[in-house]
Structure 1
Amino acid sequence: MGLDAKWAELPSVQRRFLLFTAAVAIIFLLLCLRLWYLQIINYEEFQDRSTRNRTRMLSLEAPRGPVFDRNGHLLVGNRPSFQISVMRQDVENKDALLLRLSKLLEIDLEVLEKRWQDGRRYPIYRPVPLAHDVSRELMERVQEHSVELPGVLTEVRPVRDYLEKGSAAHLVGYLGEITDSELRSEEFEGYQAGDFVGKIALERSYETYLKGIKGKRLVEVDVKGKLLRQLQAERALPGNKVYLTLDRELQRAADEAFGDQSGAAVAIDVKSGDILAMVSRPTFDPALFARGIASDEWTALLNDKRHPLQNKVVAGQYPPGSTFKMVVALAAMREGIAGSQRTINCDGDFELGGMRFRCWKKAGHGPTDLKKALRESCDVWFYQVGLELGIDKLSAAAKEFGLGAPVGYPLPGEKRGIMPSREWKRARYNLPWYAGETVNASIGQGFVLSTPLQLAVMTAALANGGKVLKPQLIDRIEDWQGNLLMETGIDIVRQISYSASAWREIRRGMVAVVNELRGTGQVAKLEQVVVAGKTGTSQVVRRKSDEEEEEDDNGDVPYRFRPHALFVSYAPAEDPQIAVAVVVEHGQHGGSAAGPIAKTIMERYFADPQTETEEE
């Protein structure tokens, strides 16, 4: 009898029992085979997977390098900040989680949803920040509800602390989250989405020095992503220490002296080119960017007509006005056109080919020599001398002093200004040069444009006998252990050659501006130090008729049409140490608007060091 026949003779209940037993045996065999595969064949792989299911490798942010002034005062540091983040893979119900966090953190749900979406750029193992720089109270509130918040982490991270607020904002710059385009560039190789990097100025240009080396920590978490314990850690290394040439006290004095006015001021060491102070107003608080600037705050900065984001020290271009007259006088003396004894009569007007060019003093200055022309800022004297000199020789002399070209500011953004010539006008406008344009250029008007830093470099060269110095901003860089990595020195771009008598005549005239009766810059006079200076007023629009100017004197001219006020100076006159250039936008008169700011800077510089110690 065959097997089929025997199977058929078995009762149906017995047949079902045998089938069930066989099925169980097969299943058991398959389970045994799977267990053998997991525990013997692929033990290491699955052990690793199991470990990863309960551990997380978190990165530790490295503190950026601190920034100090020349005397070791901290300007930019770091402070601990509480951040609420989330591990996305540990979240089962995103909507419910974000709604709960919105109520706990008092943040709009839409904001949290956008940050979640932005976090899709991040590596899966990296926490997505949902709230930056939260208060301790909110952080503790989140920790108290951690059971309800699977995957949510409370982290302490270093954030930039700008101790001087907006005072040195244009010099220091700010941080921002790295963009997709930056991640694709070679400059940011090795960075990850979510990293914060320097965006402008020092923070950007010295990113490689300032950034630290990230650390790591391996932590154990439960099934809801809650941190249980730290398994191991590799500490982060801070960035390098950057020491600037800036003097903190001088910077503060310049910043406070500006008040609510717009413009720029810069002070440099006439022997080294070190930038001692540089202020651009209005300014902004870099801390806005450190915590993530809100869209309305960013829009307000962009739309502000006074341009708070622009570093006007190097990017603001203004007609230098009468601060340019020393260059004209020197060039004229070198060419034998004018010396200290040449006298030109000023009756308030200068006629050329039917055109009328007026002096700022309507009644005129009468017979005027070089010293008087500088002291009282007589326009007619310079009209005549500049016309005889010619635009090309005038342009060449100005370029020797650093006008019309970048002077070498070590950070991006420097403008070159304009020092016109016949060739320049032909190339730019395809037009010939006219004599009347030379007349305007002779008092720093017309096409002539300069930055405040260029004027400071020019003034330093006037003070030190013709050494044009490259401005220095970085004194030195040390690693976090104090080892020297970089140090700057004096860089003389060129030596301008003029006779000793020519330099002396210019100094005499500039000293008279500040220290003699009828000097236009007497407001900048100091009791303890002899200051040499020059006022300047640069027109924003064309000069008007006598009747319209009468209205201007009554203060009826709109702010945007008022002339800029300028003042350049150095001191002590006999042994110069510091040069200062100030531009007050629409300040109208150099002596009354820009002069007091320069005086404040000089007073702070020459103050008794003991006074500074007592104030601290």
Structure 2
Amino acid sequence: MRRTRNDTDFSVRTIGRRSMVLGGVQLGVAGLLGWRMRQMQVEQADEYRLLAEENRVNIRLLAPGRGMIFDRNGISLAENAQNYRIVIVREEAGDVEKAISDLRQLIQLDDIEVERALREIERRSPFVPVTITDQRSWEDVATVAVNAPALPGITPDVGLTRNYPLEQDYAHVVGYVGPVSDYDLSRLDDDDPLLQIPKFQIGKTGVEQKFDKMLRGKAGALSIEVNAAGRVMRELGRDEGQTGANLQLTVESRLQNFTEARLALGLSAAAVVMDVRNGDLLAVGNAPSFDANKFVRGISVPDYRDLTENKYRPLANKAVQGAYPPGSTFKMMVAMAAMEAGMLSSADTFYCPGYTQLGNRRFHCWRRGGHGTVNLEKSLQQSCDVYYYELAQRIGIDRIAETARKFGIGERFDLPMSAVSAGVMPDKDWIRSAYDQEWRVGDSLNASIGQGYVLSTPLQLAVMTARLASGTSIQPRLIKSIDGVETPVVGAEPLDVNRNHLRLVRRGMFSVSNSRRGTAYRSRIADDSMQIAGKTGTSQVRSVVVKNSEVPWEQRDHALFVGFAPFDNPKYAVSVVVEHGGGGSAAAAPVARDILLFALHGKLPPLDAYPAGQQGEIAETFGQLDLRQDFGPSETGRSRA
């Protein structure tokens, strides 16, 4: 059928319109593409250039050098040692087992190390270096380097690891570091990217733990170029980050070593030495101790079992964590409380028949025959229990507790050591809260001689003694400076107690060590310019009175001594606790005297500082000590302050 002219014109018009619409759409799409291309190439060029660069450049974290720890004289207590290691790259080694077998012909490898390395190699990409062994000697590294052509894929490497040059002397104070674990990450509220670095070392105990953030520093960054497979092609840049802060402690290494060595002659003991003028802790000793380096390098199962199953508890920081009945060392607090309450003067006396009768119960004095008529000085000199039983009935536990807390008993001191204990200074409110019962008069009598519910740490006893000696509310200080900036001395203001009462108690303590009838007379100092004022203590760990020689070690009495010297111009206070050591006069006082003499002389004390009849015995004792007298020079590094 022929199309009419009208039909043809209509078709042309229709096709023309459609062509124009289609052309317009095509032009719009082309314009949109052009606009988008311009936006991406011009306006967003920097953004896409960065994205492309990130596909080529990887950023890896670099662990900074950990801050170092020094004693008050700049001797290194914790440092960073070079850690020589041997690494392998699987794709370069080819036959891994053969390569390791060849390596074993040159250096000795532990089977456990090799098995661990083989497992790690299977988990990692073939081009990622895996450590076969670390903590190697320079000789081993040199041997591997010389034989490198025969050891494809195996190369020596070097990093940093923590080292404690004085080994066990500061294990409880400085503590130790270890690789960050999943448990650490779960309990730490810390988003520091350093914690994501495999085997990154963080503080686990002691100062290392309490100042971990400050010591670990700030992460650095390594920029590397990688190919499409992720293989490292070259290093583009390196930012080493910020080294951790350096800490200087108040402790003195020679005194610390002597204290540890002197305590080690016993079985289980602790001691604290404190400068009464500024609160500096000069020694915090524990026996037995342990080598913290074993934890850093990976302690073996047998070594760890030996530590945890040892009944003398070498892992415990007894000096700040151990809470013991203070025994008769607490009697100064009762005397001070009675005088402060106006219920005792130096002229007041009590008669001691060997016991105090309370209802149908007798509270015995340690001397069953009694001490006769006793005044304040004699009560301390001979440690008469009945005298303090009588005082306790007069003044009550609340007044005793109030005074004891002024001297640091029952106070948890804010020190950067693990598990610092507050001990227990009970009163009527405390027993209601702890045991839902009322305080009894018999409880006061037990507390008056440092038994019953009263518990104190060697640190608290040292603080108590320092406050008695100085008359100030001095606080213990362990951190001397941070990056060269001195930390302030706290608590130098006078105690809110009568000066004359302090003088009377000090006089009684002097008599303990320097009167022929004093319980610590045998542990006196022969040099009149260095005389000790002190107090012995013996605390029971069982209710039935039996001779110590007739029971196992763990059921024997604790031996205690507190003291300060010189008496006329106090410089140092000391507390010593010998666990299950028996009598304080026999087991603890001689140790305290030796430690004080070392502190006063700054070195091993001369024999003429001791009574003539004891000098041979002292020389024999010193001959048994494991002392490090040769401390080489140490560099504290630059301060950023």
TM-score (norm 2): 0.78
2:276/2:470 contact within 8 Å kept: yes
Q: Deviations over 1:173-218 (max 9, x none)?
A: 1111111243464426111112112111111222223224566778
2-structure distance, mates of 1:249, 1:316: 24
Matched to 2:204, the amino acid is K
More off after superposition, 136-145 vs 290-299: 136-145
Q: Deviations over 1:434-480 (max 9, x none)?
A: 21111111000011101111111111111111x222211111111xx
Structure 1 residue runs of 5 or longer lacking an equivalent are 1-43, 479-483
For residue 161 of structure 1, the aligned residue among 160, 163, 183 is 163
Map 1:250-261 → 2, pairs under 5 A = 250-261=255-266
* CA distance 1:594–1:290, change in 2 (3 Å): same
- Residue 405 of structure 1 and its aligned partner are, at CA, apart by 2.7
- Residue 335 of structure 1 and its aligned partner are, at CA, apart by 1.7
1:409/1:470 contact within 8 Å kept: no
More off after superposition, 269-278 vs 366-375: 269-278
Map 1:88-107 → 2, pairs under 5 A = 93-97=95-99, 105-107=107-109
Question: What secondary structure sits across from 1:172 in the alignment?
Answer: coil
Residue equivalent to 1:3: none
Residue equivalent to 2:360: 354
Residue equivalent to 1:171: 173
Residue equivalent to 2:576: 582
Residue equivalent to 1:532: 533
* CA distance 1:128–1:315, change in 2 (3 Å): farther
2-structure distance, mates of 1:193, 1:122: 13
* CA distance 1:106–1:517, change in 2 (3 Å): same
* CA distance 1:335–1:235, change in 2 (3 Å): closer
More off after superposition, 165-174 vs 301-310: 301-310
- Residue 152 of structure 1 and its aligned partner are, at CA, apart by 3.2
2:533/2:565 contact within 8 Å kept: yes
Tell me if 1:197 matches 2:224.
no
* CA distance 1:247–1:188, change in 2 (3 Å): farther
More off after superposition, 184-193 vs 285-294: 184-193
Matched to 2:571, the amino acid is Q
2-structure distance, mates of 1:60, 1:116: 25
For residue 211 of structure 2, the aligned residue among 203, 206, 211 is 206
Residue equivalent to 1:396: 402
Residue equivalent to 1:481: none
1-structure distance, mates of 2:412, 2:276: 18
Tell me if 1:461 matches 2:467.
yes
Q: Deviations over 1:125-148 (max 9, x none)?
A: 874433221123433444455456
2-structure distance, mates of 1:168, 1:117: 36
Map 1:38-187 → 2, pairs under 5 A = 62-87=64-89, 93-97=95-99, 105-115=107-117, 117=119, 127-147=129-149, 149-183=151-185, 185-187=188-190
1-structure distance, mates of 2:138, 2:202: 26
2-structure distance, mates of 1:315, 1:296: 26
Map 1:510-549 → 2, pairs under 5 A = 510-526=509-525, 527=527, 528-544=529-545, 548-549=546-547
2-structure distance, mates of 1:50, 1:151: 27
2-structure distance, mates of 1:126, 1:404: 56
Residue equivalent to 2:12: none
2-structure distance, mates of 1:243, 1:319: 33
* CA distance 1:518–1:121, change in 2 (3 Å): farther
- Residue 158 of structure 1 and its aligned partner are, at CA, apart by 2.6
Map 1:392-471 → 2, pairs under 5 A = 392-465=398-471, 467-471=472-476
1:132/1:292 contact within 8 Å kept: no
For residue 568 of structure 1, the aligned residue among 550, 562, 571 is 562
Question: What secondary structure sits across from 1:460 in the alignment?
Answer: helix
Question: What secondary structure sits across from 1:512 in the alignment?
Answer: helix
Structure 2 residue runs of 5 or longer lacking an equivalent are 1-48, 607-628, 632-641
Matched to 1:206, the amino acid is F
* CA distance 1:429–1:214, change in 2 (3 Å): closer
Question: What secondary structure sits across from 1:113 in the alignment?
Answer: helix
Cα RMSD, aligned residues only: 3.5
Q: Deviations over 1:31-90 (max 9, x none)?
A: xxxxxxxxxxxxx99x999999xxx99876543222211122222223323112334665
Q: Deviations over 1:252-272 (max 9, x none)?
A: 221121124212111111121
1-structure distance, mates of 2:203, 2:446: 42
Tell me if 1:247 matches 2:252.
yes
1:347/1:363 contact within 8 Å kept: yes
2-structure distance, mates of 1:427, 1:280: 33
Question: What secondary structure sits across from 2:80 in the alignment?
Answer: strand
2-structure distance, mates of 1:120, 1:203: 35
1-structure distance, mates of 2:91, 2:367: 77
2:225/2:236 contact within 8 Å kept: yes
Q: Deviations over 1:480-539 (max 9, x none)?
A: xxxx4x431111187532222211110110010111111111233221312111111111
2:206/2:418 contact within 8 Å kept: yes
Q: Percent identity?
A: 37
2-structure distance, mates of 1:121, 1:409: 43
For residue 373 of structure 2, the aligned residue among 367, 371, 377 is 367
Question: What secondary structure sits across from 2:169 in the alignment?
Answer: coil
Question: What secondary structure sits across from 1:170 in the alignment?
Answer: coil
Residue equivalent to 1:477: 482
1-structure distance, mates of 2:166, 2:234: 39
Residue equivalent to 1:384: 390
Tell me if 1:606 matches 2:600.
yes
More off after superposition, 170-179 vs 92-101: 92-101
Residue equivalent to 1:19: none
Question: What secondary structure sits across from 1:399 in the alignment?
Answer: helix
2:207/2:416 contact within 8 Å kept: no
1:243/1:477 contact within 8 Å kept: yes
Residue equivalent to 1:298: 304
* CA distance 1:541–1:199, change in 2 (3 Å): same
Question: What secondary structure sits across from 1:597 in the alignment?
Answer: helix
2-structure distance, mates of 1:496, 1:293: 47
1:538/1:563 contact within 8 Å kept: yes
Question: What secondary structure sits across from 1:580 in the alignment?
Answer: strand
Q: Deviations over 1:399-429 (max 9, x none)?
A: 2222123022233411111111222222222
1:99/1:109 contact within 8 Å kept: no
- Residue 104 of structure 1 and its aligned partner are, at CA, apart by 5.2
How many residues align? The count is: 552
1-structure distance, mates of 2:55, 2:318: 59
- Residue 568 of structure 1 and its aligned partner are, at CA, apart by 0.5
Q: Deviations over 1:379-417 (max 9, x none)?
A: 111111112211222122222222123022233411111
1:84/1:131 contact within 8 Å kept: yes
1-structure distance, mates of 2:593, 2:325: 22
1:102/1:108 contact within 8 Å kept: no
1-structure distance, mates of 2:590, 2:53: 72
- Residue 169 of structure 1 and its aligned partner are, at CA, apart by 1.0
Question: What secondary structure sits across from 1:330 in the alignment?
Answer: helix
Q: Deviations over 1:88-109 (max 9, x none)?
A: 6656555555555566553343
* CA distance 1:433–1:530, change in 2 (3 Å): same
2-structure distance, mates of 1:522, 1:356: 30
